[in-house]
Amino acid sequence: MAEGASCHGGRETMQAAARAAGKSDALDRLMADYPRGPHDQPQSMCPAFGSLRVGLRMRRVATILSGSACCVYGLTFTSHFYGARRSVGYVPFNSETLVTGKLFEDIREAVHATAKPDELDAIIVINLCVPTASGVPLDLLPKQIDGVRVIGIDVPGFGVPTHAEAKDVLAGAMLRYARHEAEAGPVARPTSLIEGEPTVALIGELFPADPMGIAALLAPMGLAVAPQTPAREWRDLYAALDCEVAAATHPFYTASVREFATAGRPVVGSGPVGLEGTEAWLQGIGRAAGLPQSRIDIAKARALPAIQTALAAAPIAARITVSGYEGSELLVARLLAEAGAEVPYVGTACPRTEWSEADRAWLAARGTHVQYRASLEQDMAAMTEVRPDLALGTTPLVQRAKEMGIPALYFTNMVSARPLFGPAGAGSMAAIVAAQTRGRERFSRMVSFFEGVGTPDRAGYGFRGKPEEPAGFRDRQRKLRAAKLKADEAVGS
């Protein structure tokens, strides 16, 4: 990357610089794993947020960031937000160390200084935008130091569309490392190893109670739940790879799915949501595990009546739009629809993959428009057109919905923080939907009361009544702007 260039050069400039610096293979892999949609990129936070989160949630794992100081400063928010109680390493650089290769030497020194086998199992080094565009070769770092594994990944904003997919970048890299270790010989015994029972590995971050609920669904088939991916400690990776079947409950973990497939594990998409979703998922898991139909039917007979009862006890009579960037939007929409809701629109920032195809087809058959790689503008337009009783979405969409008098909930904090699967999931959404939709009349009164107040040219303090603009004000301002523009053009000539 040329001296003096920065992360403000634009995606095309950064991509061209990265390829010129020898990162073509890495970028091609990212493009293949995480394809973009009809527009460049969904509006989301820095994607490295996702990779950093995965590392910080693991025990005995340290993370070192290599990037612009402003980016690293912002990303350290992740460690505070999730209560990681550990420092995030940072290797600073300037133009000289960047273009002379000294930055790589500094990273290598930092890795050696951090590698303490009595404290760590692994060190994660993450290249952000500028080091990636400059070709900093993390693949040349030692693979391990005194038994501490070293994993370097590139997570540039111009190469990974969303923070959700960046979780997969690191999760897949760690699975690949662990798979190679297992293939090379004996590995450390996982602390959560389940003896004598074939397991199902769940791919994707789930609400803490969901794995227990899924375990109850699988138990009649003689299956147990393996540690999740992303994992909580390094040894969990071995136990996950030792599964009988992998379940892509979040369908965008492309690199992770590839590692399970390479290890010879079949992968099943979707998840046990609602009545029809649970029945289809149990059937898919049972077949992939090579179980007789009789055992699959036993599991269905135990699970489905409880789900049916839960759905009947908590019906949802509302029109709801769903949008978000977590990757579980289609599953939530299925659950809402099975509970009786009308769901005309689902938008997800994640891409279309084969692991969500069953959910897409199920929703489409019921008149739901599914928008992959949805932009904020598409989500806003759908909400404006549909005028739902409740909108589930991102922070700016929720803000706009409330300005319009539409009850709304932030998907990540209010929806993802609830059980989704099995009987617990079937009854989890009704109460919150009912509570929010009951407030619609209150929202309408508030919008009417505050109409015209606080909007851009009527915002501020000191108004005793509804702000009124002086007569002729807009015409005078328009003439002043035109005169200024004419004067500027004259000076420029």
CB 166 within 8 A of CB 48: yes
**pLDDT, tens digit, for every residue of 92-115?**
998 889 888 899 999 999 999 999
Give the tokens for residue 247: 């379940």
CA angle 352, 355, 357 (to 5 degrees): 60
Residues 6+ apart with CB under 8 A from 350: 162, 164, 165, 251, 252, 325, 327, 329, 372, 373
**pLDDT, tens digit, for every residue of 137-176?**
999 999 999 999 999 999 998 889 998 999 999 999 999 9
User: How far apart (Å, rounded) are the C-alpha atoms in residues 239 and 194?
Assistant: 8
487 vs 359: which has the higher pLDDT: 359
**pLDDT, tens digit, for every residue of 210-243?**
999 999 999 999 999 999 999 999 999 999 999 9
Residue with the two structure tokens 């508030």: 446
237 vs 189: which has the higher pLDDT: 237
Chain CA centroid to CA 414, Å: 15
Query: Mean pLDDT across the stretch 335-339?
Result: 92
Query: Which domains does the chain show, CATH number per domain?
Result: 11-161 (3.40.50.1980), 199-311 (3.40.50.1980), 315-447 (3.40.50.1980)
User: Poorest-confidence range of 59-63, 190-194, 291-295?
Assistant: 190-194
61: pLDDT strictly greater than 70: yes
Banded pLDDT at 59 (limits 50, 70, 90): very high
387: pLDDT strictly greater than 60: yes
- Element of type H or E holding 441: helix 440-450
CA gyration radius, the chain? 26
Phi, psi dihedrals of residue 159, rounded to the nearest 5°: -125, -25
CB 157 within 8 A of CB 47: yes
Nearest to 368 by CA among 326, 322, 305, 414: 322
Burial (CB count <10 Å: 0-12, 13-18, 19+), residue 298: middle
Q: What is the mean pLDDT of the chain?
A: 88
Q: What is the DSSP letter of 351?
A: P
Cα dist from 100 to 41, 92, 106, 131, 134, whole Å: 32, 14, 12, 12, 10
pTM given for the model: 0.86
Residues 6+ apart with CB under 8 A from 456: none
Where are the alpha helices (H) located in 253-353, listed in sequence order? 254-262, 274-288, 293-313, 329-338
Nearest to 289 by CA among 261, 258, 260, 268: 268
